[in-house]
């Protein structure tokens, strides 16, 4: 299997344009790998293919950042962590391939057109800067031919969030295809909540920004690279992005473990926190409101 190598982006690009160019180049690498499989007749070993995708796109992104921003530090899911980054002023936080499982899957017919590659996987590129925190983000959606960045500040979310508050439709929550948290499954037992299964944390967050769903809540299995770029993009569009309990999200810590996430349209955040409280997920924000009442 050949590893395609798109042209490396110029270091003269500003940070936002560079993040977008990195996401686009990584997408080119991943789609070329799929094209290689199709050209060879379509058969592949899923594990080997996932490993090849992770390795190829990490290699290209590392070389691109080394050329374009040689003085910046990097935190990547697919590279050995150097904790000296915690003393750096600028750190690129990347997930070369978010939704590796979906990258190496085709639809079965029950969940989409039989035989077609799945499109719910992503490339995450974020820049953290000392002081402001996340300043730039780009989320590439190679299977959909799109890249979303922090340059777009169009308000995100569904067009009719008030319809949920009026009881005219259920609150739609993006959920893991295979491992939704127990409290999310409990929420789904309500008539006024609907789960929308999909892969990739980045795709789930972007689905909130795009209005496909109203919210994404997660607990128990993420790192900083899973949420940094999607959160940067979602915050630029005015969405509420916090820890599950309402605490701020913090990045470039010595341990990159950042296991839970709350992303929601602002008009529905209070309602969602009430629902979470009803299934035992207490919010610091809600507690503070009660104490101040």
Q: Helix 224-236 and helix 201-210: axis angle, to 10°?
A: 10
Angle at 262 between CA 260 and CA 53, to 5 degrees: 60
In a 3-state reduction of DSSP, which class is residue 185? Answer: helix
Q: Band of the pLDDT at 288, cuts 50, 70, 90?
A: low
DSSP conformation class of 251: -
pTM: 0.93
Interval 74-94: pLDDT, tens = 999 999 999 999 999 999 999
CB distance 225 to 264 below 8 Å: no
Average pLDDT over residues 60-72: 98
Residues 78 and 62: their CA atoms lie apart, in Å, by 10
Residues 106 and 108: their CA atoms lie apart, in Å, by 6
Contacts of 252 by beta carbon, 8 Å cutoff, 6+ apart = 75, 85, 86, 88, 91, 93, 128, 224
Residues 24 and 33: their CA atoms lie apart, in Å, by 15
Residue 291 confidence (pLDDT): 52
Residue 1 has pLDDT above 90, yes or no: no
Residue 134 has pLDDT above 90, yes or no: yes
Residue 254 has pLDDT above 50, yes or no: yes
Interval 229-245: pLDDT, tens = 999 999 999 999 999 99
Residues 124 and 136: their CA atoms lie apart, in Å, by 11
Q: Quick one: 62 exposed, middle or buried, by C-beta within 10 A (0-12, 13-18, 19+)?
A: middle
CB distance 68 to 14 below 8 Å: no
Question: In this structure, how many other beta carbons lie within 10 angstroms of the beta carbon of residue 212?
Answer: 16
Contacts of 158 by beta carbon, 8 Å cutoff, 6+ apart = 172, 211, 213, 214, 265
Closest CA to 93 of 60, 141, 129: 129
CB distance 76 to 95 below 8 Å: yes
Question: How far is the CA of 127 from the CAs of 133, 173, 182, in angstroms?
Answer: 8, 27, 32
Binding site as annotated, residues for Mg(2+): 77, 95, 97-98, 226
Binding site as annotated, residues: 77, 95, 97-98, 226
Residue 220 confidence (pLDDT): 80
Residues 93 and 101: their CA atoms lie apart, in Å, by 21
Our measurement of the distance from residue 242's CA atom to the centroid of its chain's CA atoms, rounded to an integer in Å, reads 14
Walk me through the domains of the chain, giving residue ranges and CATH numbers. Answer: 15-149 (3.30.540.10), 161-279 (3.40.190.80)
Residues 71 and 85: their CA atoms lie apart, in Å, by 11
């Amino acid at each position: 299997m050949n590893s395609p190598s798109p042209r490396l982006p110029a270091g003269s690009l500003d940070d936002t344009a560079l993040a977008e160019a990195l996401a686009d180049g990584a997408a080119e690498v991943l789609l070329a790998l799929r094209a290689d499989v199709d050209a060879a007749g379509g058969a592949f070993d899923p594990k080997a293919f996932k490993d090849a995708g992770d390795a190829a796109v990490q290699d290209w992104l590392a070389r691109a950042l080394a050329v374009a921003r040689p003085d910046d530090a990097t935190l990547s899911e697919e590279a050995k962590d150097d904790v000296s980054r915690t003393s750096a002023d600028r750190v690129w936080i990347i997930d070369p391939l978010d939704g590796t499982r979906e990258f190496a899957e085709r639809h079965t017919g029950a969940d989409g057109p039989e035989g077609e590659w799945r499109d719910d996987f992503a490339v995450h590129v974020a820049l953290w800067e000392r002081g402001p925190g996340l300043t730039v983000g780009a989320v590439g959606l190679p299977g959909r031919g799109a890249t979303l960045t922090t340059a777009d500040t169009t308000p995100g979310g569904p067009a009719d969030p008030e319809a949920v508050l009026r009881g005219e439709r259920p609150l739609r929550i993006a959920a893991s295809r295979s491992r939704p948290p127990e409290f999310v499954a409990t929420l789904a037992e309500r008539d006024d909540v609907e789960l929308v299964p999909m892969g990739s944390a980045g795709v789930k967050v972007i689905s909130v920004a795009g209005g496909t769903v109203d919210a994404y809540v997660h607990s128990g299995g993420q790192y900083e690279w899973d949420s940094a770029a999607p959160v940067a993009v979602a915050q630029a569009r005015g969405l509420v992005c916090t820890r599950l309990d309402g605490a701020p999200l913090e990045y470039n810590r010595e341990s990159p473990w950042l296991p839970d996430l709350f992303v929601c349209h602002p008009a529905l955040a209070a309602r969602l926190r009430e629902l979470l409280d009803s299934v035992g997920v207490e919010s610091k924000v809600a507690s503070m409101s009660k104490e101040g009442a």
